Amino acid sequence: MTMTRRKLLQGATASAAMMGAGVQLGWASDATQIGSMQIQTLSDGTLTLPYEFIFGPMPQDVVAPILSEYGIAKGPLMPECNVTLLRDGDRTVLFDTGSGVGFQDSAGLLVDTLDEAGVSADEITHVVFTHCHPDHLWGVLDDFDDPLFPEAEHMMGRVEWDYWWDPKTVDTIESGRTTMAVGAKRRMEMLEDSISFFEDGQEILPGVAARASYGHTPGHMSFELRSGGESVMVVGDAIGNHHVAFAAPQFESGSDQDRPMAVATRLSMLDQMATDKMRIIGYHLPGGGMGHVERSEDTYRFVPEGA
């Protein structure tokens, strides 16, 4: 494995921070194969989020016992970041690119986990984005602000691109997200000549169909990967955690930009995943993010792969 400058700088910082927080080290990864598709999740590390960022708008008397059941204390949250890698014939596809450097010290590890998977940046043929939040888009540039995947076609839903590209967004987005808008626009300007767009329902690559999952952001997209009669849904942040988002999906999350729409999207996706028994990959779900959805009356449960 190549020891990159990113690993030297970030690995030591992240390890020290996580040791201090009593968090077990080591990044989780999942892998599966459906038909001709080899699918693997690669860790970009973890985020550190304030409790209120997710749970602030929710009824605390209901949320508290759910979190207690999952062993989650009322304090900073440290969700995993799972980038999906798809290899199918001559295509090597990344769904999102992680945080890159400069967002959070505990994230931005994708270059190193790609290296561990035996994949170099110039082997990536396609980069497909779920949305433009920092932990999904900002890693598209390298340490020197050049495109990290120079040989890749970059692909994004038209609705998502138009929202973040609009110069009015930085002035109209809520104040706590202004830096997201500024950072997104800067990276999009670097991608302008290599980006292609798609719409809801479009097969963007053979066996890869886009599904609108709006709400978390105005144009958030999920992707159904289908081959050999099997399928997996890459849900991005449409289902943002493995506890409250499943046990009480009707609650509005502080992380979503259009909260009522995000609730409707989450309920629809959970219903479909449970009914169709389709596997999912969640960007912030634990253990590498791959698993399936079980229904119990009007609530759901995330079951990790192999559990």
Q: Using one digit for the tens of pLDDT, what is the confidence trace for 244-277?
A: 999 999 999 999 999 999 999 999 999 999 999 9
**22, pLDDT greater than 90:** no
Q: What is the pLDDT of residue 49?
A: 96
pTM of the entire predicted model: 0.90
Q: pLDDT tens digits, residue range 26-53? A: 456 789 999 999 999 999 999 999 999 9
Look at residue 11 in the predicted model and tell me its pLDDT.
Answer: 39
Write the pLDDT tens digit of every residue in 270-304: 999 999 999 999 999 999 999 999 998 889 999 99
Spatial distance between the Cα atoms of 307 and 304, rounded to a whole number of angstroms: 6
**β partners of residue 224:** 209, 233
Q: Calculate mean pLDDT across residues 221-228.
A: 98
Domains and CATH numbers, the chain: 5-304 (3.60.15.10)
pLDDT score at 1: 30
Q: Are strands 31-34 and 126-128 parallel, antiparallel or unpaired?
A: unpaired
pLDDT in tens, 108-127: 999 999 999 999 999 999 99
Q: Look at the alpha carbons of 234, 238, 244, 250 in this order and tell me if their dihedral is positive or negative.
A: negative
Burial of 26 (0-12, 13-18, 19+ CB in 10 A): exposed
How many whole angstroms separate alpha carbon 14 and alpha carbon 214?
Answer: 32
Which pLDDT value is given to residue 307?
A: 65
Contact criterion met (CB below 8 Å) for 104 and 134: no
Residue with tokens 């960007």: 283
Helix (H) or strand (E) segment spanning residue 69:
helix 60-69
What is d(CA 282, CA 69) in angstroms, rounded to the nearest whole number? 21
pLDDT attached to residue 262 = 98
Over residues 136-170, the pLDDT tens digits come to 999 999 999 999 999 999 999 999 999 999 999 99
